Chains A and B, each alone.
Chain A
Amino acid sequence: MELAGKIIFWFYAVVIVAGGGLAVTSPNLVRAMLGLIATLFGVAGMYLLMNAPLLAFMQLLIYVGAVSVLIFFAIMLSRASATGDEGMEPGLWPNVRAFLAFALPMGVLGLTAFLAPPAGVLVPAEVDPAKLGQALLGEYTLPFELISIVLLAAMAGAVLIAFEKRGSK
């Protein structure tokens, strides 16, 4: 199982990186969204691999089922052309800027991860969803409530913003 696990891990890793690459470089936004979805699937697969199926399914439910659909909606609303006016900006400075944004955190965080490897467990244990629920309502009530407030605020804000325009126009 060890070998199979490794193969699967690398497969997911390739999917994630390839999807991510497509997502940030494709001039066509719908294809970029497709890349994002591939990445999301890869991440979900990794969650499964690290024995957290709840996270994996929630990842699919929230990201693939809701967020990517919202993104698609946004693409349709903004009427991005199918051929795409989106892509790398010409010129040296924007490219350097983008590369720096990529490389700096990569270097710092990657080095940290490499230099300070934590004492790892090889086979992670699955967490019972019930335990999660108890923690949510016990130990972590405050963040839970906070996130619900954030969601509510976001929803109200979205509605408000969208409505404000119609009234003013």
Chain B
Amino acid sequence: MSPVTWYQFVAVLLLGIGLFGLVSRRTLVGMLISVELTLNGAGLSMAAAAQFTDMDAVMGQLGVLFVMGLAAAEATLVLAILVIVSRRVKSTQTDAVSQLRG
């Protein structure tokens, strides 16, 4: 098996772990952590594909960088949402938040 497949396996595993966490976690922060894992899996897969195949490496690396930028933006937004949720609901359990109306 070529190295790219191994990398892809790790990436997919990471993605799976992230998804698992996303479903099983009950707090916003836990879900945020899981999302980061998922994004990392995606990034790893992209980078491996770009580096180990004949594909344009520049594009792959730029893609990973974009993913990182998105992750940073997403984390900022989640933090801001969390500020409000924690002040208003006094809890960051997602179940509690879902009971909000309006």
Show the binding face of A for B, using Cβ within 8 Å.
Answer: 9, 12-13, 16-17, 20-21, 23-25, 29, 32-33, 36, 39-40, 43, 46-47, 50-52, 54-55, 58-59, 62-63, 66-67, 70-71, 73-75, 77-80, 85-89, 94-95, 97-99, 101-103, 105-106, 109-110, 113-114, 117-122, 124-125, 127, 131-132, 135-136, 139-140, 143, 147, 150-151, 153-155, 157-159, 161-162, 164-165, 169
Cross-chain pair count, CB within 8 angstroms: 259
Contact of A80 with B40 at beta-carbon distance under 8 Å, contacts A63-B71, A136-B62 already known:
no
Closest 6 CB pairs of A and B: A24-B21, A120-B2, A154-B73, A158-B80, A102-B20, A124-B51
Task: Out of B10, B18, B86, B88, name the residue touching A46 (CB < 8 Å).
Answer: B10
Please tell me the number of chain B residues within 8 Å of chain A, measured between CB atoms. 75
- Asked if A33 and B33 make an inter-chain contact with CB atoms under 8 angstroms apart, the answer reads yes
Which residues of chain A are near B17, meaning CB under 8 Å? Answer: 17, 20-21, 23-24, 102
